Structure 1
Amino acid sequence: MRIVACLNGDRRPGAHPALPVSVDQLVTDARSAVAAGATAVHIHPRDHGGAESLEPQVVSELMERMRAEVPDVPVSLTTSLSAESDPWRRYDLVQRWASPALPDSVSVNLHEAGSVDLIQLLGDRRVAVEAGVWTVEAARILLATRVEVAAVLVEPTQVAAEDARRNADAINSLLDRAKVGVPRLLHGADATAWPMLEDALDAGLDIRIGLEDTMRLPDGTEAHDNAALVAHALSLASA
């Protein structure tokens, strides 16, 4: 089972005292999350002003440091339109990422404009793709286009846990019927983060946790940092 630490997401700098933004912070935080039990990390790269960025120089600086200081840990980066709102400019930026500093994988949200073209580009660049599937309609895009992906991220966005669970169940049911055999990860956000993590454990799916998804432990107290969230997730997985 993979335990992915999602370190920062699109949260604003300062949203949590321990939210990692700079490269130094991300490297240090990734090391701590792995020490706590994470088997991979997922990062939204940030420029020197703290804004999300897919600029080649931003990605290269981050990946070079991660490779040097957190070796042998798979690194996934976002390609969300929250990081670059223009899908054509996003394509161009990813195309210009430097080969020696490519991430192990990236997440691509299938409901976003330009997602299929981006997945094909990443395949040509030999970067694994984790398909972000938020809805049944997005799952149908995955099946209809037959794009090659290394994993599926089932990501219900509903606010209430029961609504998120119904959406996730419908997505998983469709993927099961279509015999999609790649690894699958299920996660929620904020109020649904821990319920979805427990559902993922019950179903034998991969899990992720981190300040991107929630800033609180299940009892509602603020988590100290990403490592604390990972440690708690590991304790649930081991129970």
Structure 2
Amino acid sequence: MFIKAALNGSRSKADHPAIPITTDELVAAARNAVLAGANAIHFHVRDRDGKETLEAAFVNEQVKAVKAAVPDTPVGISTGAWIEPDISKRVELIRQWEILPNFVSVNGHEPGFEEVVQEILKKQIGVEAGLNSAQAVENFISKGLLKECFRLLIEPEEQELNIALATVKAIEDKLTDKLPHQTVVLHGVDNTCWEILKVAKYKGYDLRIGFEDTLHDPSGAIAESNEALVKAAFHWDL
């Protein structure tokens, strides 16, 4: 069972005191998630004020530290448009990275996503295609970039389970016969997180769990840590 631990996302300490923000916190969270069974680590880089950033100084520092903490585990970060809305600036920031993650996620619904993918590929970093809709799939296909992604993230954002599952099906329909080599991760968020994790297991997809996706364990209680969420994912619906 492959599980990617998504450590923080856009959440803050106001959401949960254990959200890892600083480099030391990210290192500890990554190490503990891997000890709990995570096979990959994903996080959003933060600056000294805790704000999401793509600036090279912080990417270099945090990626280096996390990779050193879990040397046998792939480490990835986000390139979400909200971090730097100006596409030219975003690409230039990525161009300046020196310590490289093993992979990044790029969202297919974001304007200019193809420029981000192309810059990431130039740096020989793996690309995960973030697919929150059938249109996002079409965007990757129309730019000839779906085949360049080593992993596909099916990630419905709807909070009603039946609507989220309809989005999953629409994405899957677009992907039929277009998966020559990619692995697929399916995950939900907040209200749908655990039920969609169950669906992912049933379908044989890889899994994602962590504070980015939910603050709660399967019982509905507030989770103690990313480590606890990873452990819960192994046993959910057994």
User: Does 1:143 find its partner at 2:135?
Assistant: no
CA distance in 2 between counterparts of 1:88 and 1:196 reads: 35
Deviation for aligned residue 1:180 = 4.9
* Residue in 2 that maps onto 1:6: 6
Q: Letter of the aligned partner of 1:33 in structure 2?
A: A
CA distance in 2 between counterparts of 1:228 and 1:173 reads: 34
CA distance in 2 between counterparts of 1:38 and 1:113 reads: 32
The 3-state SS of whatever aligns with 1:184 is strand
The 3-state SS of whatever aligns with 2:76 is strand
* CA displacement, residues 72-91 of structure 1 (integer Å, 9 cap, x when unaligned): 11101000012212221110
Q: Letter of the aligned partner of 2:74 in structure 1?
A: P
Q: Does the 8 Å contact 2:150/2:181 carry over to 1? A: no
* Residue in 1 that maps onto 2:123: 125
Deviation for aligned residue 1:181 = 3.8
Mapping for residues 1-239 of structure 1, pairs under 5 Å: 1-98=1-98, 101-147=99-145, 148-236=148-236, 239=238
Q: 1:180 to 1:155 in 2, by over 3 A?
A: farther
Q: Where does the alignment leave 5 or more consecutive residues of structure 2 unmatched?
A: none
Q: Does the 8 Å contact 2:120/2:126 carry over to 1? A: yes
Deviation for aligned residue 1:143 = 1.6
TM-score (ref. length: structure 1): 0.95
Q: Does the 8 Å contact 1:10/1:82 carry over to 2? A: no
CA distance in 1 between counterparts of 2:175 and 2:113 reads: 19
CA distance in 1 between counterparts of 2:38 and 2:155 reads: 19
CA distance in 1 between counterparts of 2:18 and 2:186 reads: 24
Deviation for aligned residue 1:137 = 0.5
CA distance in 2 between counterparts of 1:177 and 1:72 reads: 32
Deviation for aligned residue 1:13 = 2.8
CA distance in 1 between counterparts of 2:111 and 2:52 reads: 18
Q: Does the 8 Å contact 1:13/1:50 carry over to 2? A: no
Q: Over the residues paired in the alignment, what is the CA RMSD in angstroms?
A: 1.2
User: Equivalent pairs: percent with the same residue?
Assistant: 39
CA distance in 2 between counterparts of 1:169 and 1:62 reads: 36
Q: Where does the alignment leave 5 or more consecutive residues of structure 1 unmatched?
A: none
Deviation for aligned residue 1:68 = 2.2
Q: Letter of the aligned partner of 2:17 in structure 1?
A: P
Q: Does the 8 Å contact 1:56/1:97 carry over to 2? A: yes
Structure 1 segments, 4+ long, off by >4 Å, are none
CA distance in 1 between counterparts of 2:21 and 2:195 reads: 27
Q: Does the 8 Å contact 1:78/1:106 carry over to 2? A: yes
CA distance in 1 between counterparts of 2:69 and 2:114 reads: 33
* CA displacement, residues 28-79 of structure 1 (integer Å, 9 cap, x when unaligned): 0100111111011100000010000110000000012122222111101000
CA distance in 2 between counterparts of 1:22 and 1:221 reads: 25
Figure out how many residues of one structure are paired with residues of the other and give that number: 236
CA distance in 2 between counterparts of 1:180 and 1:111 reads: 22
